Chains A and B, each alone.
Chain A
Amino acid sequence: MIKSIIESFSNLFAKSETINYPYEQIAKFKNYRGLIEYSADECIFCYKCEKVCPPDAIVFKPTKEKNRLYEYNPNLCIYCGECVRNCPKEDLALWQSEKKPKII
C-alpha cells in the first residue's frame, strides 16, 4: 500500500514515456530497411531482382530499346531486401536506402 502510494507520487514527476512527435524526432536505428534504389548505368539487366521479388514490386517493362525499363512500386514493396541480396552488382546497381516512401 505505502509502496504503491510512493510509486504513484513519483510517477507524477517522472519523465513522459512518449515522444512529442513531430516536434521531437524519433531516433532511428542504423541500417533501417527502407526504399530500394537503383542505378540504370550499373545494371546488367539480368532480371534476377524481378524474379525473386515476392510481391512483384520490381517490374521490368519492355521498351523499344534493347534494355527494359526498371519500374519500382514502393507501395507494394515489403522491404525484405531479397532483390538486393540476389543482385550480382549489389550496392552498385541496386541497394537498400534508409528513406521512407512519400505519402501521397
Chain B
Amino acid sequence: MKKTITIPLGSQHISLLEPVRFNFSCENEKITDVDYNVGFVHRGIEKACTEKFEYKQVGYVVARVCGLCAITHTMAYTLGIEHILNIKTNKKIDYLRILMLELDRIHSHLLCLAHTAENSGFEGMFMKIMGDRELVMDIQEAISGNRVQFDFVCIGGVNRDISTECEKLAFTNLALLDKKVDDLIGKFTSNWSTALKYKNIGALSYDDAFNFNALGPLARAAGAAIDVRAESSILPYKEVGYKMILGQNGDIYDRNLVRLKEIKNSILMCQNILSGLTEGEILVKFKGKPNGESFTRLEAPRGEIFYYLNANGTNMLQRVRIKTPTFSQIPGMVEIFKGSDYADAPAILASFDPCMSCTAK
C-alpha cells in the first residue's frame, strides 16, 4: 500500500501571491518530499535584452523583470554596464541610488510581513501594514514620478534630482514609519498569531544556510553573515550607516524580526543620506560603445542578485545573464519544507518572500 499522499500547492492557491507550484508528498501530516515547478511566467527577457533592445534601453527592460525590486534590477544592470564603459559616478549619484534601493527594501519587506500576517489568519494586520507601506510608496512616487516603475536610474547617473519638497515629505514619512515599525516589532514579538506560534517553525540551521547557499533575510535569520552590502564596494554602504542584522534560529519568527530590524536600519540610512546630500551633477556624460564583460552583485530585498554582461563593441549586448535571489534559494526552501507539517506550508512559503517573476524572468 502506498504510504504517502501527494498534495499540490499552487499554481493558484489562496495563500499564494505568485504562480508557483509545489507538490508535497505527505506522510500523515509531515511533508516528506517536495517537487517544484517555477517556470509559469517565463518571458524570455534575457533573449529580448540581446536581440531586441540596444544597451541604452536594456535598463528599462530589466526593470520589468519584477515589480517589487525594479530599481535593484536596473541598478545592477547599470552598474555592470558602467563598469564596462568605465564611467565613474560622483558621490551624489551614489547616494541617490542607495536612497532608492533602501526605500525599495523597506516597502518590499513590509509587503512580506503583511503577507506573513495574512497567512497566519490576521487579516487586519495585513491591511494595517499595507497602509503603512503607502508612506514609503509615496516617497518613491514623489521622487521618481511613478508609483511602481520608477525608471530612476540611467547609465551615467540618475534621471531626476530630489527637490526640497520631496526631502521634507521623506523626512516626515520616514519618522512616522519609524514609530510604526517600533510598534510592529512589539506585535511580531509578543502576539500569538503573528509571532509566538511561529517559533521553531520552518527553521533553517546555520550549517544548512551555508550548504544550500541561502541568501538575504533567509540566511541572516539563521545567523549566517551573508550580505552583499558588506561584501561589495560598488556603492558606499559603509558611509551611510549600514549594519548587519542577524537572527539566531532561522525560523519564521526570526525572519520576521530580521526584516523589521532591517527596515529600521534602512530608515536610518535614508535619513543619513537625506541630511547629508550635497549639490552636484546628477548625470555623467559618456561616449563610446561597450566592449568587455562584467560581473555585478547587489543586495536586493530578498538576497543577492547577479548580472553577467558581455558586450562586443556594438549597440547590442552579446549576453545578459540575470540571477535572482529566489532562483538560487529554491533548493534551500525545499529542504526547509521537508519534515515540517503540511498545515504550516503556506506560512513558511510566505516567510520566504518568494518572487516568481524574478525566478522565471
Contact = CB atoms under 8 A, between A and B. Distances in A.
Nearest to A54: B57
Contacts of A43: none
Interface in A2-43: 17, 29-33
B151 A80 contact: yes
B146 interface: yes
B165 interface: yes
Nearest to A27: B138
Given A33-B145, A81-B151, A85-B159, A54 B60 contact: yes
A47 interface: no
Most buried by A among B141, B146, B149: B146
Given A29-B141, A32-B145, A80 B165 contact: no
The SS class assigned to the B binding surface is helix
A71 to B, nearest CB: 19
Contact of B61 (A17, A32, A54): A54
A31 B161 CA distance: 11
Contacts of B138: 29
Interface residues of B, number: 20
A52 B146 contact: no
Interface of B: 53, 56-57, 60-61, 127, 131, 138, 141-142, 144-146, 149, 151, 154, 159-160, 163, 165
B314 to A, nearest CB: 15
A78 B149 contact: yes
7 contacts: A17-B127, A31-B163, A33-B144, A54-B57, A54-B61, A80-B151, A82-B57
A52 B54 CA distance: 9
